[in-house]
Amino acid sequence: GIFESGGNEDLNIFSTLKTAQDLFGIEGKISNIEVSALTTPDNDLAKKATRDPNSLTPTEYETWYCTAYVSSICYQIQEVVEDSVAKPIRQVAESEGKILDKTKLLMILITALGSIGSALGISNLVTATVMEKSQEIGLIKAIGGSNLRIMLLILTETVITGIIGGIVGYFIGLGFTQIIGITVFGSYIEPAVMVIPIDIALVIGVSLIGSIPAIHYLFKLKPTEVLHGR
């Protein structure tokens, strides 16, 4: 068949490895292997490991070895293939790293916009709840309830609602992640456990920030005016 990719591969002849070895009489030998991998952009740790992996501490070595840095991939290839030298094609590796960086930036931007939208929604919801219960809140204030205790009551209700919504949203997001993984990458995406505490912290933070306008309205609420229907 004729293979057309628009690149330098169009000038090559492709065959199975065994056929090529038999044709040239070099059974069991290879000249070079090209490996394509989605890599993590180099940082200070990767640069330090590139200079001398033996200079890393055990913790740094484990982090570097288990991360898809170009240098760690080359190092592991040399471990597996005896008497080999693995060298990165920097132009390709850097391009893949830049694409990964832009993808991460896009995800962070989407998360930030989603958090802002959630905070606005929570703000409207909590403010509407406080206004709806203004007479009850006014009565509590009239019989001696402090602003602090009422505020804690409102925030507790808001945070509990936010956590329930966060749990539901986490599983919905997990489902969409698997759909995208199968559709785009053809494989399932392993859930990251570290996302759970981050999700909880974001839910609590967004819930508290979104409650600020309602708390401000709560502090300005006067029992005499509310109980008389003003």
Instruction: Convert the pLDDT of each residue in 191-206 to its tens digit.
Output: 777 777 887 888 788 8
User: Residue ranges of the domains in the chain?
Assistant: 8-88, 92-227
User: In 3D, which of 121, 123, 127, 116 has the Cα closest to residue 202?
Assistant: 116
User: What value does the CA radius of gyration of the chain take, rounded to a whole number of Å?
Assistant: 29
pLDDT value at residue 35 = 81
Say which range, 99-108, 182-191, 202-211, has the weakest mean pLDDT: 182-191
- Tell me how many degrees the CA angle 88-91-95 measures, rounded to the nearest 5: 110
- Kindly give the residue spans of alpha helices, DSSP state H, lying in 12-89: 17-24, 44-51, 58-65, 70-80
pLDDT value at residue 90 = 66
Helix 134-142 crosses helix 90-132 at what angle (to 10 degrees)? 70
What are the pLDDT digits (tens) for 121-132? 877 877 787 777
- The pTM (predicted TM-score) of the whole model is 0.47
- Kindly give the residue spans of alpha helices, DSSP state H, lying in the chain: 17-24, 44-51, 58-65, 70-80, 90-132, 134-142, 147-180, 195-210, 212-220, 223-227
Question: Does residue 94 register a pLDDT over 70?
Answer: no
Residue corresponding to tokens 């919504």: 165
Residues 6 or more apart whose CB falls under 8 angstroms from that of 134 comprise 221, 226
What's the rounded Cα separation, in Å, for the pair 74 and 124? Answer: 53
The token duo for 53 is: 């992996």
Question: Does residue 223 register a pLDDT over 80?
Answer: no
> Among residues of the chain, what percentage have pLDDT more than 90?
0
Contact 211, 158 (CB under 8 A): yes
